[in-house]
Amino acid sequence: MYSIQSQNNANAVHLILANAEKTTQVIISLNEGARISSLIVGGKTIIKELPDFSYSDSYAAAILFPFASRIEKGAYQFDGKTYQLDCNQAGINALHGLVYNKTFTVINQKVTDSTAAVTMVYTETNPPKGFPFQYALEVTYTLSENNVGIAIKVTNLDTTPFPFTLGWHPYFYTEHLAESVVKFNSHQQVAFDEKLITKELVLFTNEGDFAIENKQLDDCFVMNDAVIEFETNEYQVTITSDAAQNYLQMFTPPHRMLIAIEPMTGISNSFNNGIGLQVLAPAKTYEINWHLSII
């Protein structure tokens, strides 16, 4: 039988979803944007916290909304109006959306012999001037023996439409990063400027293995399909999405056995370049599902 337990540590509120043997479990941090802070499958560590890499620096496994990656200088125009977001990246750009540090509320949970599922919601009723729209962001995690489902539902609670993209920012842990590969299909890469703001899309071909080796990655790709595979000596992860268009961001923080493999629906500076940008009308809902299959 699977279980769901709550755990409070100092300033952190966690939910632990696990099988009976505790060999497969996920830990969710409710007051850090409902992110996954730990994932173990079949006794193998897939996602873990590193003591020298704080969440405030890593944004590890954060849900990225209403924008993924960066907005140049935090400024954008929408529907004839100009907005200014807080530049939380050292005063340079707006980074990784607005919900990564919000506290979510549990609204539903369910356990069976083979699964555990929990649904949490953050409702924005006092929005900042830079994104003055009311919305509800609902996140459901479903854990089974070799699978994790992440279902996101965004509802516009405002009287006007708003722009958005979505992303997820997990870091995968492996002791053998240099021997690992990411498999994906792409024919375009995002060319960044020195501040990681999109300049243009350029031709790029990857139709299978992308070797990590000793590369220092901070790169984004336009996906041809919705499948990303990560193969290590310890485990294999397949990430799928049901979004119509998908983008892949990869980042390797220096001197750590981690790689961020980030599925996104838009790219850096999407509020200005429109790449992947969507608009949600009042009272309408957008849904996306990411699925992890782990061997």
pLDDT tens per residue, range 202-242: 999 999 999 999 999 999 999 999 999 999 999 999 999 99
Q: What is the pLDDT of residue 215?
A: 92
Q: Does 163 sit behind a cis peptide bond, omega within 30 degrees of 0 on the bond before it?
A: no
Gap between the Cα atoms of 141 and 18, Å rounded:
12
Q: What is the pLDDT of residue 38?
A: 97
Task: Look up residue 190 and give its two tokens.
Answer: 């995002």
Cβ 260 vs Cβ 213: under 8 Å:
no
48 has a pLDDT exceeding 80: yes
Over residues 281-291, mean pLDDT: 98
Over residues 252-265, mean pLDDT: 95
Categorize the per-residue pLDDT at 276 as very low, low, confident or very high, splitting at 50, 70 and 90: very high
Cβ 38 vs Cβ 47: under 8 Å:
yes
Gap between the Cα atoms of 239 and 226, Å rounded:
8
Categorize the per-residue pLDDT at 10 as very low, low, confident or very high, splitting at 50, 70 and 90: confident
Over residues 115-141, mean pLDDT: 98
Which of the two residues, 96 and 7, has the higher pLDDT score?
96
40 has a pLDDT exceeding 90: yes
Categorize the per-residue pLDDT at 255 as very low, low, confident or very high, splitting at 50, 70 and 90: confident
Residue 283 burial by CB count (10 A; 0-12/13-18/19+): exposed, middle or buried? Answer: exposed
Helix (H, G, I), strand (E, B) or coil at 151: strand
Q: What is the pLDDT of residue 118?
A: 98
284 has a pLDDT exceeding 90: yes
Gap between the Cα atoms of 156 and 28, Å rounded:
25
Q: What is the pLDDT of residue 9?
A: 78
**Percent of the chain with pLDDT strictly greater than 90:** 96
Task: Look up residue 90 and give its two tokens.
Answer: 């050292």
Task: Look up residue 65 and give its two tokens.
Answer: 């909304």
Give the CATH number for residue 51. 2.70.98.10
Over residues 178-191, mean pLDDT: 97
Q: What is the pLDDT of residue 146?
A: 95
Domain range for 98 is 3-294
Cβ 177 vs Cβ 212: under 8 Å:
yes
Cβ 5 vs Cβ 15: under 8 Å:
yes
* Amino acid of residue 20: A
Question: In the beta sheet, which residues pair with residue 63?
Answer: 168
Listed in sequence order, the residues at least 6 apart from 89 whose beta carbon sits closer than 8 Å to its beta carbon are 70, 95
Over residues 271-279, mean pLDDT: 98
Q: What is the pLDDT of residue 93?
A: 98
Q: What is the pLDDT of residue 103?
A: 97
Number of domains present in the structure of the chain: 1
Gap between the Cα atoms of 267 and 247, Å rounded:
7
Cβ 13 vs Cβ 101: under 8 Å:
no
In terms of DSSP bridges, do strands 105-111 and 167-169 run parallel, antiparallel, or are they unpaired?
A: unpaired
Q: What is the mean pLDDT of the chain?
A: 97
Gap between the Cα atoms of 180 and 229, Å rounded:
11
Closest listed residue to residue 47, CA positions, set 260, 210, 244: 260
End-to-end CA distance of the chain: 21
Q: What is the pLDDT of residue 79?
A: 96
Categorize the per-residue pLDDT at 99 as very low, low, confident or very high, splitting at 50, 70 and 90: very high
Gap between the Cα atoms of 294 and 124, Å rounded:
34
- CA 278, distance to chain mean position in Å, is 17
- Tokens 């993209």, located at residue: 165
11 has a pLDDT exceeding 80: no
Q: What is the pLDDT of residue 224?
A: 97
